[in-house]
Amino acid sequence: MGKHLAKRTTHTEIDTTTGEMARIVVDEQMGYVDTEPDYVKIYVGTQLCLNSIDPSLAPYVIAFSSYLTYADDKNYQHMIQTNSIVRKGVARTLGVSEPRVK
């Protein structure tokens, strides 16, 4: 869990006497935001256990899930292509080498 930008708002202050832009104010609120909610981790862990798959693979399943497709064709719903771009992205997300993801 790391500190990430939780919210950024920008507004412009205008000088009411001249109508000129006085300054631009950017508000950034930092917070500790996890990459996925706890219920997602619990759900994935449970699904892995129910299917007799090692629960230590949960981070990989979660990382690959961001590459899921949502096709309307019933034969191609929820597919994950494991090309080199996807493997590099998953490896970067998990902080491991690409061959480890292969």
pLDDT digits (tens, 9 = 90+) for 43-55: 888 988 988 999 8
Collapse the DSSP code of 28 into the 3-class scheme (helix H, G, I; strand E, B; otherwise coil) and give the result. Answer: strand
Q: Mean pLDDT, to the nearest integer, of 9-19? A: 83
Please indicate whether residue 37 or residue 33 has the higher confidence score (pLDDT).
37
* Residue at token pair 């832009």: 21
On the question of pLDDT at 23 being above 90, the answer is: no
Q: For position 1, what pLDDT does the model report? A: 46
pLDDT, tens digit, 9 for 90 and up, residues 74-85: 777 777 888 999
On the question of pLDDT at 9 being above 90, the answer is: no
C-alpha–C-alpha distance, residues 83 and 102, integer Å: 9
User: What is the Cβ-side half-sphere exposure of residue 22, based on CA atoms within 13 angstroms?
Assistant: 9
**Backbone phi and psi for residue 9, each to the nearest 5 degrees, phi listed first:** -125, 145
Q: CB–CB of 25/11 below 8 Å? A: yes
